């Protein structure tokens, strides 16, 4: 059985534009629209195995892109630091705000 890793839907949002259109469309239908391999195969006029192979290639490419660029990791870290910054700003501790601001800059330029 071909189990879905929903993290690929998230990666597709970041990197989908660099994939071949057909591959990106199949991944979108599979992860975001929750279509089955058979439904996607019918839409594209190919076999389920052809769809599965295209999805697997797309997943491999998305994984490779994230391993090299780490965009989702950076966004998650930025969100975490931003939430901390908001809390500290509420407490009016300006020294800590500068420290977090510096860490945010470091994250952006890794």
Domain 7-69 has CATH 2.40.50.140: no
- What's the CA gap between 66 and 18, in Å, rounded? 12
CB 47 within 8 A of CB 24: no
Does position 110 have pLDDT exceeding 70, yes or no? no
Which pLDDT score, from 0 to 100, does residue 1 have? 40
Hey, where are the domains in the chain? Answer: 7-69, 72-108
Q: How far is CA 109 from CA 64, 92, 93, in A?
A: 20, 27, 25
Summary mean pLDDT of the chain: 88
Q: pTM above the 0.85 mark?
A: no
Per-residue DSSP letter, 32: I
pLDDT, tens digit, 9 for 90 and up, residues 33-68: 999 999 999 999 999 999 999 999 999 999 999 999
């Amino acid at each position: 059985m071909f189990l879905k890793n929903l993290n690929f839907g998230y990666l597709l949002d970041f990197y989908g534009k660099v994939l071949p259109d057909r591959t990106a469309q199949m991944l979108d239908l599979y992860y975001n629209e929750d279509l089955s391999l058979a439904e996607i195969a019918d839409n594209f006029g190919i076999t389920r195995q052809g769809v599965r192979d295209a999805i697997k290639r797309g997943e491999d490419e998305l994984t490779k892109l994230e391993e090299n660029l780490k965009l989702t990791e950076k966004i998650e870290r930025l969100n975490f630091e931003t939430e901390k910054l908001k809390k500290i700003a509420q407490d009016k501790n300006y020294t800590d705000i500068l420290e977090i601001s510096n860490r945010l800059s470091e994250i952006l330029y890794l």
